[in-house]
């Protein structure tokens, strides 16, 4: 582009250059603080031109600007209609030589700042505060800038260092003598001008160009790590020979932003995953407790595991029974669950009679699995008694008062909700009459000190305060051991929650959240949560989400977004459904009557109503066909039936039961009838839109229905194409836009490391958006993300992923390996690359192969469920593998109660196990030798030899 016209006496020419791969209809503009750069307004800023340079698309242009000491700028991606699609987060600042002459040329060669990079993740609290805190010590040194001289160009080099240890620094070596002429021992040291930026300036004679160089990291002991990749190159516009007119004057300054240091290996780490309730120590009572996390941190620290991943820890008390063991069904996204309370840590002066009760409960509840109801009951009983004796005085402590002031916005409504839930005997707040909406007036009334239940309110506050202290202490302890604590952000909340009671306008209470049929459940899943009213949440900048994450960040250094697909689109299920099959995506572009009719499709009642014929009834019900027809169906024309209104929905069908005391054959017949009626209800091709008679949704996998199979070939082809377009094509732009409205808000709310659970049916727009935002995904080996592969290949996983052999929603590796002989053989040969017949049992040696694969994966994180590591210890007694499953997603009333079968203290004391695991981490590069404790060094050396025999 041509330079802006200005007087030569007062102007310089700035040449901007940046590689960026745009798409059709996009271009790059440079915006900044001067009028020549649009005064920070992209619409007024100058555009750059583009050219291809190898595989890169380079944008560049010249701008005439006034002489200044320094100026700031950034780049923007703008569409042809002047919409800004991407703007760099941080502005760049360039200082110019103080003696720069008018007419001089300055070249700024930059790298785009917002490209996701490992260094960006290393600046999150998981690394900055816990795992690698020493790498980011805040230092800033002054760099003396050079002045311009005839016959030479100032080359300013900027590089961002990361993964640096104490005592390390960055140097540059290249083809100049001042850079050591490619001798690293004589390289030029850079100055750390800000964390993590390093800079230097060199004066380069025109004749010395082009400049080639590389950066290196040098230790205090002199060892040098030269960066990977080809040498970097800087060229200069040289002055024209004598007698030849020059149209390209040489640059007085070339400022090069080289991005990040190119380490030969990306940093990789390992961690462990477990629910808190699954932990067991010598001090816990009935279930795992927040204090047990400290013992697990000791184990992780000894091995070199850098992260503990937990399931949600929020209060789930809805039914006051074991159904509440489901940790993803929170009654408050802020309150913590009393199940995880450590009774021992409630008081420094525990009364002797209560201490005896605690010890008796510890013995009585030392069971194979968690007894949710008994454990919660005894903890609340002892805690209430202790509060009666000591708690009221503690409410006057400065610590409590400060916490209450910080937490009152969620704590007060939560306490009021708990009181009303217990008073009415149900958490269904819509049945509470005048109290059915948690307004500030209702909350104030319930919490009034004059109310007879005020002591109950104070107990709730006191209990939450102690849970806060105990989880905070566990988090601080993990941090002291360089072990990050990773929390879980559930996609939903219970309809019977304090959050929906206080903010009903932000939830769609008449529908449910779930998932379409997938690996976990062929019928889809109905989680029962309300979906979000995103439009309403946007009005206050998603304050509920931001506050929720701020609360999490008190304890956690990282978090997992449960079902991250829900931030692109959610599977919304009608309120009369009990499973997930008849749902649709929200937001989505539905099918319209007009587009269906344009394809010759017109009989919408035929497509939307269950298609029931006598032949289908006979096929589904067999000898019970007559009973099913008379009891549950109504004739509708020739050889057609419809469901009776009282049995026309899934929930009505599910409610059918045999009378109490009925013989087993009658109970079995009733279940057969229910199964058949469900199949009839699902035998539809299209689903009605919730508000428009002219819009429809395709039923998921409509091609599998008897109704579709009875259509003529033209209708079948048209509906199949529209089905695939709805689910796999037409929504991508809409879902991309929706995700970019919500996910960046979550990221910006805290400095926690963000990981996304992206299992299931993955739209094409999800991987590029997660890569753009720098979000790590999840890879489970048995659920291959690669088309045509039965098993994932950890070695080929993308870097921004978490590699895990199993998770809480699957069976353990041992159980999965052993349950299917044919699949086991395929996995042994194809997945593990082994020859011969697969062992029938998942022996420790087989498990070691799986662990090694995941440790050697390209993924940033390898995270193992505790159950997948414990069998490697020779001191851990065997337990049937099926007993170690945490959750069965196909069972909506699963009892979440799995507990490890030995105290963590015994695992910590198992030196051979610790040494073997540490050796595996060292060998895979997920642990560095300088982080190995001296006391274990000898054991680790021996373990290397033993492990090489196993692995």
Q: DSSP letters along 714-746, please? A: HHHHHHHHHHHHHHHTTTHHHHHHHHHHHHHHH
State the pLDDT at residue 196: 83
State the pLDDT at residue 933: 62
The secondary element (H helix, E strand) that includes residue 861 is strand 861-865
Burial 414-433 (b: 16+ CB within 10 A, else e): bbbbbbbbeeeebbebeebe
Domain ranges of the chain: 1-115, 118-252, 610-683
Q: What is the tens place of the pLDDT at every residue in 566-584? A: 999 999 999 999 999 999 9
Instruction: Output the CA angle 115-121-124, nearest 5 degrees.
Output: 130
Instruction: Output the CA angle 689-693-695, nearest 5 degrees.
Output: 50
- For 501, the token pair is 């009671």
State the pLDDT at residue 9: 53
Dihedral in degrees, nearest 10, Cα atoms 367, 368, 373, 379: 50
Model pTM above 0.75: yes
> Cα-atom radius of gyration of the chain, to the nearest Å?
32
| Residue pointed to by tokens 């289908």 | 616
Residues in the chain with pLDDT values less than 70: 1-9, 115, 134-140, 238-248, 933-951
527 and 889 in contact (C-beta within 8 Å)? no
- For 820, the token pair is 């299917």
296 and 290 in contact (C-beta within 8 Å)? no
First-to-last C-alpha distance (Å) of the chain: 60
Integer Cα distance of 487 and 131 in angstroms: 16
Q: What is the tens place of the pLDDT at every residue in 159-186? A: 998 878 888 899 999 999 999 999 988 9
Closest CA to 309 of 346, 269, 349: 269
Domain 118-252, CATH homologous superfamily name and number? Immunoglobulins (2.60.40.10)
Coil vs helix vs strand at 134:
helix
State the pLDDT at residue 668: 96
166 and 134 in contact (C-beta within 8 Å)? yes
Q: Can you name the residues that pair with 304 across neighbouring β-strands?
A: none
Q: What is the tens place of the pLDDT at every residue in 53-89? A: 988 999 999 999 999 999 999 999 999 988 998 888 8
Sign of CA dihedral 460, 465, 468, 474: negative
Asked if the domains 1-115 and 118-252 are classified in one and the same CATH topology, the answer is yes
State the pLDDT at residue 941: 45
Integer Cα distance of 454 and 448 in angstroms: 7
Right CATH number for 1-115 from 2.60.40.420, 3.10.450.40, 3.30.70.100, 2.60.40.10? Answer: 2.60.40.10
- For 933, the token pair is 């404790």
């Amino acid at each position: 582009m041509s330079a802006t016209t200005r007087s030569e006496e007062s102007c310089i020419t700035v040449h901007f250059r940046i590689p960026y791969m745009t798409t059709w209809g996009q271009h790059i503009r440079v915006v900044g603080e001067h009028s020549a750069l649009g005064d920070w307004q992209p619409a007024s800023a100058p555009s750059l031109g583009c050219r291809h340079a190898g595989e890169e698309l380079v944008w560049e242009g010249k701008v005439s600007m006034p002489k200044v000491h320094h100026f700031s700028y950034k780049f923007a991606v703008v569409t042809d209609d002047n919409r800004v699609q991407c703007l760099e987060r941080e502005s760049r600042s360039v200082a110019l030589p103080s003696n720069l002459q008018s007419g001089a040329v300055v070249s700024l060669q930059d790298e785009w700042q917002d490209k996701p990079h490992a260094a960006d993740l290393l600046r999150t609290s998981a690394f900055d505060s816990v795992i690698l805190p020493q790498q980011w010590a805040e230092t800033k040194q002054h760099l003396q800038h050079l002045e311009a001289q005839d016959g030479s160009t100032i080359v300013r080099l900027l590089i961002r260092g990361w993964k640096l240890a104490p005592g390390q620094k960055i140097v540059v070596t290249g083809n100049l003598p001042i850079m050591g002429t490619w001798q690293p021992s004589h390289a030029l040291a850079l100055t750390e001008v800000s964390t993590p930026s390093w800079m230097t300036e060199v004066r380069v004679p025109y004749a010395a160009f082009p400049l080639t160089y590389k950066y290196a990291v040098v230790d205090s002991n002199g060892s040098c790590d030269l960066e990977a990749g080809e040498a970097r190159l800087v060229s200069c516009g040289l002055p024209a020979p004598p007698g030849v007119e020059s149209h390209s004057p040489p640059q007085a300054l070339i400022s090069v932003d080289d991005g990040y240091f190119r380490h030969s290996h990306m940093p990789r780490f390992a961690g462990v995953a477990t629910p808190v309730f699954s932990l067991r120590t010598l001090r816990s009572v009935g279930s795992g407790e927040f204090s047990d996390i400290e013992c697990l941190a000791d184990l992780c620290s000894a091995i070199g595991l850098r992260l503990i991943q937990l399931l949600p820890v929020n209060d789930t008390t809805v039914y006051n029974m074991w159904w509440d063991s489901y940790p993803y069904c929170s009654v408050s996204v802020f309150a913590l669950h009393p199940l995880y309370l450590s009774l021992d840590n409630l008081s420094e002066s525990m009364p002797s009679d209560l201490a005896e009760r605690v010890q008796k409960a510890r013995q009585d509840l030392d069971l194979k699995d968690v007894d949710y109801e008994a454990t919660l009951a005894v903890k609340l009983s002892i805690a209430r008694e202790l509060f009666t004796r000591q708690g009221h005085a503690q409410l006057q402590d400065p610590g409590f008062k400060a916490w209450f002031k910080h937490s009152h916005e969620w704590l007060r409504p939560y306490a009021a909700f708990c009181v009303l839930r217990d008073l009415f005997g149900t958490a269904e707040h819509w049945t509470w009459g005048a109290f059915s909406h948690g307004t500030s007036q209702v909350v104030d009334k319930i919490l009034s000190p004059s109310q007879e239940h005020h002591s109950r309110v104070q107990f709730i506050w006191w209990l939450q305060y102690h849970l806060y202290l105990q989880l905070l202490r566990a988090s601080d302890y993990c941090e002291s051991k360089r072990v990050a604590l990773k929390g879980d952000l559930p996609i939903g909340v219970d309809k019977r929650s304090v959050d929906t009671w206080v903010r009903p306008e932000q939830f769609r209470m008449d529908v449910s959240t779930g998932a379409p049929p997938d690996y976990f459940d062929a019928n889809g899943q109905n989680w029962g949560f309300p979906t979000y009213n995103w439009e309403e949440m946007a009005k206050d900048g998603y304050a509920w989400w931001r506050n929720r994450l701020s609360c999490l960040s008190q304890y956690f250094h990282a978090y997992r977004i449960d079902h991250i697909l829900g931030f692109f689109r959610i599977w919304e299920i009608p309120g009369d459904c009990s499973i997930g099959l008849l749902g649709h995506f929200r937001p989505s572009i539905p099918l319209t009557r007009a587009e269906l009719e344009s394809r010759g499709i017109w009989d919408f009642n035929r497509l939307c109503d269950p298609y029931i014929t006598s032949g289908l009834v006979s096929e589904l019900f067999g000898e019970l066909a007559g009973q099913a027809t008379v009891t549950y169906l109504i004739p509708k024309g020739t050889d057609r039936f419809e469901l009776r209104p009282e049995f026309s929905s899934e929930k009505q069908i599910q409610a059918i039961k045999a009378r109490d005391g009925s013989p087993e054959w009658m109970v079995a017949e009733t279940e057969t009838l229910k199964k058949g009626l469900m199949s009839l209800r699902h035998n539809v091709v299209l689903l009605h839109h919730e508000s428009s008679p002219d819009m429809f949704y395709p039923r998921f996998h409509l091609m599998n229905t008897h109704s579709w199979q009875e259509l003529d070939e033209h209708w079948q082809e048209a509906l199949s194409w529209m089905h695939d377009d709805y689910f796999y094509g037409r929504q991508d732009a809409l879902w991309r836009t929706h995700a970019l409205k919500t996910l960046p808000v979550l990221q910006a709310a805290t400095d926690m490391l963000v990981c996304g659970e992206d299992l299931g049916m993955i739209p094409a727009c999800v991987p590029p958006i997660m890569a753009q935002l720098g979000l790590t995904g999840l890879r489970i080996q048995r659920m291959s993300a690669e088309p045509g592969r039965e098993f994932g290949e950890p070695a080929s996983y993308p870097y921004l992923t978490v590699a895990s052999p199993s998770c809480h929603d699957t069976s353990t590796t041992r159980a999965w390996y052993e349950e299917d002989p044919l699949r086991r053989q395929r996995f042994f040969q194809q997945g593990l690359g082994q020859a011969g017949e697969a062992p029938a049992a998942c022996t420790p040696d087989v498990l070691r192969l799986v662990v090694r694969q995941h440790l050697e994966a390209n993924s940033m994180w390898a995270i193992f469920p505790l159950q997948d590591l414990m069998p490697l210890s020779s001191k851990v007694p065997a337990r049937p593998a099926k007993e170690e499953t945490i959750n069965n997603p196909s069972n909506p009333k699963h009892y979440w109660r799995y507990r490890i079968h030995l105290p963590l203290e015994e695992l910590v004391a198992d030196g051979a196990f610790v040494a073997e695991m540490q050796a595996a981490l060292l060998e895979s590069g997920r642990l560095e030798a300088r982080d190995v404790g001296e006391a274990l060094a000898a054991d680790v050396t021996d373990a290397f030899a033993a492990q090489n025999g196993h692995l």
